Structure 1
Amino acid sequence: MECDKLMTRINMIIKKRAGLARTTPNFIIYEKDILGVKYIYDLQMEMLCKNLLYQANGNNKLKILFKIKMIQEQKNFWTSRCPGELEITNYRKNNWIISALKALNNEKIKICNHETKDFKENHRIQGGKIDLIELLEEKDFVTSAQSRKSKNIMFLEDILEADGITLLKWKHLCKEQVLNTKGKTPKWFKNLEHKLIADESGQVRRIKNEFIGQSQKENIHVNLFDENEKQDKSSIITWNDEGEYPIFSIDKKRSQSKKYKRIGIHLILVGDHYDLNNSPRLEECQECYRNISKKKGNNECLIYIENEISRKMDRRKEEDDIKPYETLNNTRETGTVVSPEQ
């Protein structure tokens, strides 16, 4: 360390000037009541602390500037935590405050004490219980900041399905945030999947027991169906029914009914066994007891769309099936949020 080399030379000069032997223990010249020499590195740390405290508690203009700088870094890291409590490992050359915090961190010194609840609430962004900074590797947390920010995900709750225990797939997450699904799944998200998902095969996306109960999804994105909007042929309309599984439909035309304003093509689940952990495979119903069409036997099943409890999901074509960007489990759980009797 440069300070150690410099202090070795300074100690020798001081001992010589004071008429002390070269073998005199250093603690003697550092003793306050004798010579009171101070270690350069300690003086630097003391000056950093004083400067930070002066900035944070000075006049109003300084306090506002300091607060702005801290908020900017909070957004750069994309974390709910206050930068004053973070273990900062990388300097930001354009921000002396963060550089100072990094130097103080090396000495286990933090400018914020977040043990007091009220103090913590004032300094942190609210919205979830588990910040992704607690789950990501240090290198991933730094390199993934822009990716997480663009997807508006900061907490574990942001990447879970409506049940609070199932990890969203990347494309489903993008669709929930109404964002483009093109591109590969980022490496940091794959690392999170490996860390969070209990099933090593990844087929069942239930998170490990240690994370269950710590989080609760509160901000569920729901794209409600509006019967007065222009017809959207790229979406699936869904709502929960008395049965075990939701009802699916594609908006087709206006209705003459006084109770319902829209009529849709009825979609049914393909097969006899349904995988809750994947997007459901759907196909057009040929005809069933729900069919309201006056033209029977034309292999088309039309149903009324329940406007007040229905929502829209983006869909895609996969081979001969129609599939939403959402697992069957999440469709069912989110439907309970939309339903007014829940």
Structure 2
Amino acid sequence: MRYEIEHCFKSNVQSDQEEKLRINVSSQSYMDNVMWITKSKAQLEQILKIADEFNIMNNIQTNYDKFEMITNKKLDKDIVEVNFGSSKRMIKPLTSKESVRILGVWINLDLKTNYVFNQCMDIIKRYNKTISFKQITDLQMKYIYNHVIIPHVDYKAQLLVWTNSQTEKLNSTCRYMFKRKASLPLTTPNSIIHLSLGYAIKDINTIQAQRQLSRLYNQVISKGMMKDIFEIDCKQLQSELLSNKSPLATWNISLKDLQVKHYLLARVLALLYDNMLTIKSSGMRVNQIQGGLLPIVDICTHKEIFSNGINKGLKGKNVYFVSQLMSSDGIRLLRYKDLKHRTKINTQGRIPSWFKFIETKLIKDPLKSKKVKTDYQLEYNIHSVTTKIDNLKTKNWITTFHDQIGKPIIGHVLDNPSEDKIRIEHWIQDLENDQISPSVQLPILKKCGRCEVKTNQIRNKRSNTKVRCIASVPKKNRSDLYLRI
């Protein structure tokens, strides 16, 4: 008889461990109104079976005609058969765009505001029509607007956030009749109607901002289950925005630019941002995600991230930082197939649109070089993979960071590792075209003949002319920098 809220996330993008928040919420019941939330039709029928047994036991009658079902899933049929324990009913579920009434408040799963907006507009128009030919003073109209009409409108809209154009339409409808009955010119400045030094008619946009700010503040300082639910709500929105911090700490999106759907919290924060209102509390968590440099949201605008499914691709691969897509030196973007080793994601198939977008954003000419623009270059960030050195054998390939030249090298193990060092033969990438950066050419390796890496040279036994570049790599305290390939 309850529903479950859960969210999975990673507090560190480099970690494989995933954290999970889960809360069980009891069914909501108010006098003769009951609301059940389930994940499936089968779970709903199980709850209805228990409820039907309880009603029969206590001689409670159920009014099936008032039963409403709303779903965000696409159904094969318009009418669904639902088992109510001892009986079966044919019900036509409402779509996510349609609204349903719960205790006088109309809601829908898509957070559409048109239905309630039209209701509120009708409330104001009916009142205007009623007083149109009545003998009434301006102070009487002010009292009725501020203490009857506006609270009625405010109650219906408490789970919605209207745009500026919608609130202006409601305000203008109020002002028109007020100016007419008060014998004021229609050109009278609106500030005279709404300011406290004037008639002090409440502005619906201001009332909306005050209500949502108060509700959000109560959620921030709440305790118990409400606190846990709000924490999950914040983290779900943070994941949707691909932000490395809580949206309460770093919100800078206006209501007109907001691309996130189905998140009331996002619309509330956007409304407060437009009205230059913020919330600060000592108990507010930042929820900062660790393990990377240069967040994606710092190089892309909100609209760019939510265009062409970019956010879905990045969210699906758990990519929050640019450093997750870059080489260890912090100046080159990795190839998409190389992300299999860096971020451990499945890179089979075509290069996705989100990676192409990031590539065009960071790189000036992707066909010639993978070097990113100067503004996006990062500091050296060694991505280490731990492996046991004792497992290395002759002819194994390894890569390690070389302190002398300050960059990684590739080597071929010549013999079994000794107690203090490993002897490797240095190999380098064979460049077919010196006009194109090595980062975009095929990784073809060849033996290095002579370079600053060498510690000694020996002649190749098969040739009297070629030499081999041999390096001795210290084994002690370096196990975290070796990678067997």
- Same fold (TM > 0.5): yes
Tell me, yes or no, if the aligned pair for 2:324 and 2:343 is still in contact at 8 Å: no
Alignment of 1:50-61 (within 5 A): 50-61=214-225
User: Residues 282-334 of structure 1, C-alpha deviation per residue, up to 9 Å, x if partnerless?
Assistant: 2579xxx87899xx659xx9x899583462265xxxxxxxxxxxxxxxxxxxx
Q: TM-score, normalised by structure 2?
A: 0.49
Distance in structure 1 (CA, Å) of the matches to 2:208 and 2:341: 50
Alignment deviations for residues 71-103 of structure 1 (CA, whole Å, 9 cap, x no partner): 22112222113323141612432x321232233
- TM-score calculated relative to the size of structure 1: 0.66
**Compared with structure 1, are the counterparts of its residues 152 and 306 closer, same or farther at alpha carbon in structure 2 (3 Å cutoff)?**
farther
Q: Equivalents in 1 of 2:167, 2:410: separation in Å?
A: 71
What corresponds to 1:222 in structure 2? 384
Return the letter of the residue paired with 1:203: K
Report the alpha carbon displacement of residue 111 of structure 1 after superposing the two structures with TM.
Answer: 2.8
Equivalence for 1:38? 202
Does the 8 Å contact 1:130/1:155 carry over to 2? yes
Which residue pairs with 1:87 in the alignment? 253
| Counterpart position of 2:267 | 99
Amino acid at match of 1:196: L
Matches within 5 A, 1:76-225: 76-84=240-248, 85-87=251-253, 89-93=258-262, 95-105=263-273, 107-112=274-279, 122=286, 124-142=288-306, 143-198=309-364, 200=365, 202-212=367-377, 215-218=378-381, 220-225=382-387
In structure 2, the CA distance between the partners of 1:32 and 1:131, relative to structure 1 (3 Å rule), is same
Aligned to 1:238, what secondary structure does the other structure show?
A: strand
Matched, 1:236 2:423: no
- How far apart are residue 185 of structure 1 and its match? 2.1
- Assess if the C-alpha contact under 8 Å between 1:129 and 1:155 holds in 2: yes
8 Å Cα contact 1:56-1:62 kept in structure 2: no
Change (3 A) 1:201 1:79: closer
Structure 2: how far apart are the matches of 1:173 and 1:163?
A: 15
Amino acid paired to 1:23: P
- Relative distance call for 1:128 and 1:110 in structure 2 (3 A) is farther
Secondary structure at 2:483's aligned position in 1?
Answer: strand
Indicate the residue corresponding to 2:148 in structure 1: none
Question: Which residue in the other structure is 1:20 paired with?
Answer: 182
SS in 2 for 1:83: coil
Q: Structure 1 residues 192 and 232, CA, compared in 2 at 3 Å: closer, same or farther?
A: farther
The Cα shift of 1:258 comes to: 5.7
Structure 2, unmatched stretches of 5+, are 1-164, 449-455
User: Using the alignment, how far apart are the partners of 1:61 and 1:271 within structure 2?
Assistant: 61
CA RMSD of aligned residues (A): 4.5
Q: CA deviation at 1:58?
A: 3.3
> Distance between the aligned counterparts of 1:15 and 1:245, measured in 2?
76
Aligned residue for 1:325? none
Cα pair 1:159 1:167 within 8 Å, conserved? yes
Q: Distance in 1 between matches of 2:375 and 2:380?
A: 16
Aligned residue for 1:8, secondary structure, equals helix
User: Computing the radius of gyration over CA atoms, which structure comes out larger, 1 or 2?
Assistant: 2
Structure 1 residue identity aligned to 2:445: L
Counterparts in 2 of 1:242 and 1:41: CA distance versus 1, 3 Å: closer
The structure that is strand-richer by fraction is 2
Decide which moves more: 41-50 or 178-187: 178-187
Is the 1:175–1:181 contact (alpha carbons within 8 Å) kept by the matching residues of 2?
Answer: no
Q: Distance in 1 between matches of 2:167 and 2:405?
A: 74
1:37 Cα deviation after fit = 0.8
Gaps of 5+ in 1: 315-342
Q: Which residue of 2 aligns with 1:282?
A: 445
CA distance in 2: counterparts of 1:150 and 1:284, whole angstroms: 40
Answer whether contact 1:3 1:40 (CA < 8 A) is retained: yes
Taking structure 1 as reference, are residues 150 and 291 closer, same or farther at Cα in structure 2, changes over 3 Å only?
farther
Q: What amino acid sits opposite 1:188 in the alignment?
A: W
**Cα shift at 1:128:** 4.6
Cα distance in 1 between the residues matched to 2:423 and 2:333 = 34
Residues 209-258 of structure 1: per-residue CA shift (max 9 Å, x gap): 2334xx3354x32224423448799x731234868986644569x84966
Cα 1:203–1:20 shift into 2, 3 Å: same
C-alpha contact 2:423 2:471 (8 A) present in aligned 1: yes
Contact 1:160 1:167 in 2 (8 A): yes
SS at match of 2:313: helix
Deviation (angstroms), 1:70: 1.0
